[in-house]
A = this chain, B = another copy of it.
Amino acid sequence: MDRVKRSERLGAMTHMLIQNPNRIHTFSEFCELFGSAKSTISEDVNLIADSLSRFDMGAVHTISGAAGGVFYRPSLSINKVRQTLEDLSKTLSANDRILPGGFLYTSDITSDPTVTELLGRIFAMRFWHLSPSFVLTMETKGIPLALMTARALNVPLVVARRDSKAYEGSAVKISYISGDGDHIETMALSRRAVKEGQRTLIIDDFMKGGGTLQGMVDMMNEFKATVVGIGVMISTAIPLEKRCKDVKTLLTLDEMDVSTGKCIVTPSEEFLRALM
């Protein structure tokens, strides 16, 4: 075995694994590309697996057997997850984030490529054992987070709209009750987007009353699809009772005082425990 060649392969193999999270690469795929024996590739894979796991950069898994291969899971250690959620809580608890009307400004966070990529990994860790067929979100703010979750899971993203659009073809349109119970909202989804029997993971940025999330659950019922999990970035502590049940939240907005501009956001201990 040629030492130079190994070091030449490792960068490219790592790239292939990382760029396509949760996609299975066969050993033959690597053997062909690099002109190496399977045993050599297998050693390479072990080296990459050790290197990534040692520095908390995700896990490389090997599936043995005829249909075997290798795939990369962009998982993080529980310490890294906690650190990420604590850092984010601190950012969101800063004094200048409370807007007139008592809203928390999060748009810079929900569209940040680096933050959403990390949170997408964390959602994927929580939900991949449920084998979702796709990730569903409702426009607009949750899209980056849902996209990064879909990427980490290697599944498509589907985006529900407030209204049907001519350029999305015939659509299913439903009405749902807003979280505060005050008014009726509408939601539309292209009929092409979802097939009967598919498994849906719902991801959104924010839950207060849970009306929009429950709207997405109702929409999936219309499509005869199964909701296998629901995740949000932030959930408010109040109201305690949400319209949508069994939602996994990364962070909780515990308190907000509009008069002092003070708000407290904390990591969800329940979410962290579930990863242990």
Q: Which residues of A come within 8 Å of B, CB atoms?
A: 3, 6-12, 14-16, 18-20, 33, 47-52, 54-55, 57-58, 99-101, 103-108, 111-114, 116-117, 139-141, 143-144, 147-148, 150-151, 154, 156-159, 161, 166-170, 190, 192-193
Contacts and interface: CB of A to CB of B under 8 A. Distances in A.
B113 A157 contact: yes
A51 B105 contact: no
A188 to B, nearest CB: 12
A10 to B, nearest CB: 4
Contacts of A141: 159
B105 A147 contact: no
Given A113-B154, A114-B151, 16 more contacts: A7-B47, A10-B48, A10-B51, A11-B47, A11-B52, A12-B57, A105-B167, A105-B190, A111-B147, A111-B156, A113-B148, A143-B143, A143-B144, A144-B144, A144-B157, A147-B147
Contacts of A55: 12, 15, 33
A3 B2 CA distance: 12
Contact of A156 (B3, B51, B112, B157): B112
5 contacts: A12-B52, A14-B15, A113-B147, A139-B140, A140-B159
B169 A100 contact: yes
Q: Is the interface of A mostly helix, strand, loop or mixed?
A: helix
Contacts of A105: 167-169, 190, 192
**A6, A49, A107, A116: most-surrounded residue (chain B CB, <10 A):** A107
Given A11-B14, A12-B51, A103 B58 contact: no
A16 to B, nearest CB: 8
Contacts of A100: 166, 169-170
Contacts of A19: 18, 57, 117
A111 B158 contact: yes
A111 B169 contact: no
Nearest to A96: B192
Given A8-B51, A47-B7, A150-B113, A107 B14 contact: no
B7 A99 contact: no
Nearest to A105: B169
A16 B47 CA distance: 16
Contact of A7 (B10, B57, B140): B10
Contacts of A144: 143-144, 147, 157
A89 to B, nearest CB: 18
A6 B7 contact: yes
A116 B147 contact: yes
